Amino acid sequence: MISAPTTGSLTINQDYLTSPTDMLEPILLVMTGQYFQVIQQRTMQEVISNWAFTGTGTTRNQQQPQMFYFDETTMRFDSPPNLAYTYALLYFKQPAALGSSNQTNFLTATYPRLVRCACTAAACEWAKDSGQGNFDRTYWDQAAQVEIDKAQEESDRARRGTVAGAILIGGGGLSGYPSQTNGFW
């Protein structure tokens, strides 16, 4: 599940942004408006190694953040912001918990067979049905994995853009590129 853009503004001299409670992982963090810039997600080692300090060596330089790392509750910046930069955040959302008042969510509506296979595999695990009968835990584990793979393919297809490149036809000789003969390289 991908969130709608969440907007807000950074707090001056606060080197982190608290993530929304339903966020699993950030997709895109961008500073909007006059100071537009995509803030790159990097490893924590890279972000911390890019800390810049003032002349005293104890206070970090305030400037527009260039990168961040995600520590499951916050996005931590390489620099504390010197202005209240406006931002937009896209992220992967956690599906709503199921209960008596909420009997459906993204998974049950979009991937009902996946939910069924996973629940049946868990039930077989609880009943210790391993290697017994035609529909033991191994069967349901494999069926659930097939459904997970299908869901992942759909997700990848939805997020994948088209990348086009040049195709060289002909050549050979002095160009250094292979010649095409009868439709084959």
Residue with tokens 């969130």: 3
Q: How far apart are CA 129 and CA 8, in angstroms?
A: 51
- Helical H runs in 87-136? 106-110, 112-127
Tell me: the pLDDT tens digits for 71-93?
A: 989 999 999 999 999 999 999 89
Q: How confident is the model at residue 162 (pLDDT cuts 50, 70, 90)?
A: very low
Residue 89: name the closest of 18, 4, 1 by CA. Answer: 4
Residue 64: name the closest of 44, 88, 45, 87 by CA. Answer: 87
Tell me: the pLDDT tens digits for 38-77?
A: 999 999 999 999 898 888 777 889 999 999 999 989 999 9
The SS3 assignment for 60 reads strand
For residue 147, is pLDDT > 50?
yes
**E strands in the chain:** 6-9, 16-18, 23-31, 37-41, 67-70, 74-77, 86-93
